[in-house]
Amino acid sequence: MEIVNVTNLIKEFPLSRGLTDILSRKRKTMRVLDNVSFSVLEGETLGLVGESGSGKTTLARILLGLIKPTSGKVMFKGEDIFNLRRLNKLEVHAVFQDPDSSLNPMMQVKDIIAEPLFNTKMSKKDVDENVIEILSKVGLTKEIATRYPFELSGGQKQRVAIARALIKKPKFIVLDEPTSALDVSIQAQLLNLLIELQGEFGLTYFFISHNMNVISYISDRIAVIYAGQLVELGTVDELISNPLHPYTKLLWACVPRPDPETKISVKDFGEVPSLINPPPGCRFHPRCPYAMEICKSISPTLEKLNNIHLVACHLFSRR
């Protein structure tokens, strides 16, 4: 069953205006998300992977009801996410990459975690009990409750952020690069904790990362975003064993290997295009080794190849 449904989402940001724009009263915009559609199924982890600047955090902020799209719809359990956010009924919480910017440095851990409950009718005693319970669920001792964020390690801070996201027992959690600031061994512990909590609380995750190893470890399905457009979406097995879009193949080819001699980077294949003036046709064509004439003028649409795999590429288009 679908828990979130996103249809034809477009997000444009206004660009700062030069004098000629002001005089001509033109308002130039940058399209950061272009016609994005997908669903998240109840209980799954949908991973979103793509390079820096491709629109991942913008999409996360829209799913959280923090910013409105320019057009398109985001439904949560069949209701418009922005109506739910306005009515304070949105059961969606978030964990971001940098815990320092999301944890108030002036508050003790117990208050940081409990804050989402402050405007509910829960008694102080129940709030305290909930905090102690959730601390143990995220693998922290109750001694941590009276500490301040600066007294915690990076991994502990992210556990606090997860506890805070869980305290109101949400159904859907948006995780925007939650492990990328951590050491590899701490990353693995946190990913395993997220998997455990998902089973225990019946959570659905939208998990953002630019790291293919991380995304394939935690996800059930993966969506690949390039310059604001979804270019491939499929089950994790399918995207590992049968990646189709040349960009997905490039991301796999650039996964770090032990041998530094064979190390390649996505940057070796050019830069992500500017979203102010993206290339016509397929946005990936300037970097694509398979680009054909049609790719320079016609943008491919995300087409369903079968029940588990969608791709936006003229190599697979049925037209």
Ligand X SMILES: Nc1ncnc2c1ncn2[C@@H]1O[C@H](COP(=O)(O)OP(=O)(O)OP(=O)(O)O)[C@@H](O)[C@H]1O
Q: In what order do the strands lie in the sheet with 79-80?
A: 29-41, 2-14, 71-76, 79-80
* Residue 57 touches Mg ion, criterion: CB under 5 A: yes
Residue 147's binding partner among Mg ion, ligand X, ligand SF4, none (Cβ under 5 to 8 angstroms by kind) is none
> Across-strand partners of 79?
76
Tell whether the torsion through CA atoms of 239, 241, 247 and 252 is positive or negative. Answer: positive
Amino acid code (one letter) for 267:
K
154 binds ligand X (CB under 6 A): no
Considering the rule CB under 6 A, would residue 50 count as an interface residue with ligand SF4? no
**Residue 53 binds ligand X (CB under 6 A):** yes
> Can you name the residues that pair with 207 across neighbouring β-strands?
47, 175
Does residue 300 touch ligand SF4 according to CB under 6 A? yes
Is 55 a binder of ligand X (CB under 6 A)? yes
228 forms beta bridges with: none
Contact between 315 and ligand SF4 (CB under 6 A)? yes
Of the residues 81, 161, 282, 310, which one makes contact with ligand SF4 according to CB under 6 A: 282
Among ligand X, ligand SF4, Mg ion, none, residue 282 binds (CB under 5-8 Å by kind): ligand SF4
Beta carbon nearer to ligand SF4, 112 or 272:
272
SS3 string of 127-183? HHHHHHHHHHHCCCCHHHHHCCHHHCCHHHHHHHHHHHHHCCCCCEEEEECCCCCCC
**Site for ligand X, rule CB under 6 A:** 13, 32, 50, 52-58, 210, 275
Return residues touching Mg ion (CB under 5 A). Answer: 56-57
Binding site for ligand SF4 (CB under 6 A): 245-246, 282, 284-285, 288, 290-292, 295, 300, 313-315
